[in-house]
Chains A and B, each alone.
Chain A
Amino acid sequence: MAKLNELCLHEARDGLKNKSFSSRELITDHIDMMESSRSLNAFITETPEIALKSADSSDEKISKNTNGPLEGLPIGVKDMFCTKGVLTTASSKMLSNFIPPYESTVTNNLWDNGAILLGKLNNDEFAMGSSNETSFYGPVINPWIKNNDKSPLVPGGSSGGSAASVAAHIGVGSLGTDTGGSIRQPAAFTGSVGLKPTYGRCSRWGIIAFASSLDQAGPITRNVKDNSILLESMCSHDLKDTTSSSKEIPNFEKAVGKSIKGLKVGIPLEFIQDGMSDEILKMWENGKEWLKKSGAEIVDVSLPHTKYALPCYYIIAPAEASSNLARYDGVRFGHSVSSDDINNMYELTRSDGFGEEVKRRIMMGTYVLSSGYYDAYYLKAQKVRSLISNDYNEVFNKVDVLLTPSTPNSAFAINEKYDDPLSMYLNDVFTVPANLAGLPAISVPSSKDKNGLPLGLQLIGKPFDEETLYSFANIIEESSSFESIDNKWWLQK
């Protein structure tokens, strides 16, 4: 019999409901997979005891028909979400001993819906990175490798563990966070489906903050339908978060399979970049064709300020981060280096507790906010951000979604870009605008490059219109017939 971890989220859900197997059986297979996949370094903390205990309670609920929508399903959680009583590190030495006495709203919603915590997933330190190489716990390895070159690849970042684990069939879905592409880029690199919801759709309460005006939690899954199911359980109107929306939460699953006939797809011309590879261009063309065939109308549109999105992002995100990370001072929680002088203690604690990329961003953020530079950088960037948002507002008067590539390239090798921050930043070029404008966006696997590595298409939608994204993503998924990993080369005997 095939192992139960091969089932995707909705298959596992239906199997549990039909009592084809128990949650304990499902969880046990996932724990086995988690343990034999440690070479991927996807998990920082495995929680098998919690998972098995929860499975028994789920089985009881299923037998009494009091099960929730995600009852008994194993979910991995990015280590940016605070989980009560379970180590939560943000993949930083700074929080390497932090046990939150509270549960984030999003994870709490999942547990209320019956989902089960499988473990805490590795990510770039404080979610700052695009390759998962900045983690204090070491890089995550992409379960995908090239056809002819077995050197390890990055899974993307910052939600590298979230994407890698789902692609490797550990857990039926995972939670990520996306500040500039941290869900969509790793989803694209691992052949997964990753959605960043509209800003405000998911509560940020209990998620370790990177850049507050950009951070959003979202689901990573192996298919579009699973994604829609997981998202629905994550959302709630949370009074503990000022920026949590009170908008009604639709039945996202119903949008999967809905016709897109007559809807308009915008192709933003500014996303066509110099030196863009033929493979990417071809993938994009295919996407247009598939959508056209399904009855959508393709329209060229212009988003004139696109090229400024990335520099704008790399001012705003570090600025907010420099302030958000000021609370890590060694006094109330986390890593602390003792000294008999308070300032010394701060400096030693923070120098030792933060990794290089985090320090670089704190420094950058401090610089752009400091006296004499605020207007030229921070304020300027927030104005440019308004122009970028306006571009999107106008375009969405004409079209229903935008179609772009998710990334300019497929997964790269570990260490390939690590020493060049700027070339690393350029990885986020297609994903960042949706964060700046607060829009929902999804990455769906569409094809493989010449090395057999997955590539993803991105759909960007109107505010709070995740449903349309799911309808379109479903068409791409069906048209592409993308196949998930079959060579599980990393498994330990």
Chain B
Amino acid sequence: MSVTIDNVKKIAKLSKISLSDDEVKSFLTDLNKIIDWVDQLTDVDTDKVSPTFSSFGLEEDTNQRNDVIKDGGCRDAIISNAPNSEDGFFLVPKVID
């Protein structure tokens, strides 16, 4: 499969990355090279293979939390890095539904 200009523009949009025309071209070249190379995976027969979900052993007991409140109440810390905030709210350009 090869990547098209439209693919690049669409994935840039989905990724929320704006690209100049030159960047679109250079990403197109890069992605095509990479995609060509990873296409060798099609040589592998995976018909009866299930995908890996994690390299963490599923036989291990996974961590779960008890239903207790032991976090939150740290608004100042939560807000401390915010580029734009007021009265303990994060501010963003107006969003209209």
- A interface residues with partner B (beta carbon < 8 Å): 97-99, 101-102, 199-200, 213-214, 238-239, 241-247, 305, 307-308, 311-312, 314-315, 322, 329-336, 338-348, 350-351, 354, 359-360, 362-364, 366-367, 370, 373, 376-377, 379-387, 389, 421-422, 425, 435-438, 463
Interface residue B25 (Cβ < 8 Å from any Cβ of A): no
Residues of A within 8 A of B82 (CB): 331-333
A315 to chain B: closest CB distance in Å? Answer: 6
Contact of B61 among A199, A246, A336, A344 (CB under 8 A): A246
Q: Contacts A330-B83, A351-B17, A463-B57; is A364 near B34 (CB within 8 Å)?
A: yes
Contact between B18 and A383, CB atoms less than 8 A apart:
no
Residues of B within 8 A of A343 (CB): 16
Contact of A199 among B56, B62, B95 (CB under 8 A): B56
Nearest residue, chain A, Cβ from B81: A333
Contact between B80 and A99, CB atoms less than 8 A apart:
yes
A384 to B14, CA, bound (A): 27
Q: Contacts A331-B82, A438-B56; is A363 near B51 (CB within 8 Å)?
A: no
Q: Nearest 8 A-B pairs (CB), nearest first? A: A438-B55, A382-B51, A333-B81, A336-B83, A101-B77, A383-B46, A347-B18, A311-B38
Contacts A360-B31, A438-B54 supplied; 10 other A-B pairs, CB < 8 Å? A238-B63, A243-B62, A308-B40, A332-B81, A336-B84, A364-B34, A370-B10, A384-B44, A385-B52, A386-B51
Nearest residue, chain B, Cβ from A438: B55
B54 to chain A: closest CB distance in Å? Answer: 5
Interface residue B93 (Cβ < 8 Å from any Cβ of A): yes
Nearest residue, chain A, Cβ from B95: A342
A376 to B15, CA, bound (A): 20
Contact of A422 among B19, B33, B78 (CB under 8 A): B33
A130 to B1, CA, bound (A): 27
Contact between A383 and B49, CB atoms less than 8 A apart:
yes
A214 to B84, CA, bound (A): 34
Interface residue count for B (Cβ, 8 Å)?
54
Residues of A within 8 A of B18 (CB): 347-348, 351
Q: Name the interface residues of B1-59: CB closer than 8 Å to any CB of A.
A: 1, 3, 7-8, 10-12, 14-19, 27, 30-31, 33-35, 37-38, 40-44, 46, 49-57
B4 to chain A: closest CB distance in Å? Answer: 11
Contact between A386 and B16, CB atoms less than 8 A apart:
no
A362 to B16, CA, bound (A): 10
Q: Contacts A331-B83, A389-B52; is A359 near B17 (CB within 8 Å)?
A: yes
Query: What are 27 A-B contacts defined by CB distance under 8 Å?
Result: A101-B77, A101-B81, A102-B77, A200-B57, A244-B63, A246-B61, A308-B41, A308-B43, A311-B37, A311-B40, A312-B38, A315-B41, A332-B81, A340-B94, A348-B18, A351-B17, A351-B19, A367-B7, A370-B10, A380-B46, A383-B46, A384-B41, A384-B49, A385-B51, A389-B52, A422-B34, A438-B56
